[in-house]
Amino acid sequence: MSELSTLVEGGQYLIENFDQFLTLLRQHIILVLVSELAAIAVAVPLGIIAVRYKRLQGAILSMGNVAQTIPTLAVIALAFPIFGLGFSSAVIALFVYALLPILTNTITGLDQVDESTIEAAKGMGMTKGEILRKIQLPMALSVIFAGIRTSIVINVGTAYLAFFIGGGGLGVWVISGINLFNTPQILAGAIPGALLAITLDSTFAFIARQIGGEGLQDQSIATG
């Protein structure tokens, strides 16, 4: 009964501060989407390079693994002296954390394309660029989307740490609530974030099913 009453209090806190909630939610979504788009723009080309030039694959994956193992707060601390407080430093930290799932899945998806299909395309006179655009990327797309799906869910949770450098987002309520022992405020910030993660995960799962091929959809490569 006490848990139910706490949830009710959390709902009341959200309703009473709804305008602020909308502002924090908007900030949270922007942080996640901007960092995710930047990660896609970097990780997918790096994955293509890693598959095309095998001797670089180990180095590229090692770079992604290192980025994933650095604590988010450490990335924020490194970005802060250069970019200062606020949005930019938070986006950089989220960008670093978003890279590895997309990079890993891009490499895996492209590597899974049957070699005989690629050889047949070469026999038809297709260039490497045409094979990439017309054969490899379309066949790997659902696996790449699975990496994006994993990455974006991770980023929804990581974005709460943007509070520490004035980046905004739902972490303002959650971390302030922890400091103030204000459980309704914590719940008002945490539950919408969980629902946002579920919504984005379901959306990307749906997209992957629409574009994916047999046996590739909904695959998610372990990111450690």
Check if the beta carbon of residue 159 is closer than 8 Å to that of residue 32. yes
Confidence of residue 215 (pLDDT cuts 50, 70, 90): very low
Indicate the domain borders of the chain.
Answer: 1-213
pLDDT in tens, 87-139: 888 898 899 888 989 999 999 999 888 888 888 888 888 888 888 888 888 88
Burial class (CB in 10 A: 0-12, 13-18, 19+), 116: exposed
Q: What is the mean pLDDT of the chain?
A: 85
For the chain, the straight-line distance linking the first and the last C-alpha, in angstroms and rounded, comes to: 38
Arithmetic mean of pLDDT, 135-151: 89
Alpha helices in the chain (DSSP H): 2-16, 18-52, 54-69, 72-83, 87-111, 115-123, 128-131, 137-158, 171-180, 183-211
DSSP 3-state of 216: coil
Confidence of residue 41 (pLDDT cuts 50, 70, 90): very high
Percent of the chain with pLDDT over 70: 93
Cβ neighbours for 206, distance < 8 A, ≥ 6 positions apart? none
pTM score of the predicted model: 0.84
User: What count of Cα atoms within 13 Å lies in the side-chain half-sphere of residue 95?
Assistant: 17
Percent of the chain with pLDDT over 90: 42
Token pair for 96: 């670093």
Confidence of residue 212 (pLDDT cuts 50, 70, 90): low
Yes or no: domain 1-213 corresponds to CATH 1.10.20.60: no
What is the residue whose two structure tokens read 């299909």? 117
Check if the beta carbon of residue 111 is closer than 8 Å to that of residue 50. no
Check if the beta carbon of residue 9 is closer than 8 Å to that of residue 146. no
User: What count of Cα atoms within 13 Å lies in the side-chain half-sphere of residue 209?
Assistant: 6
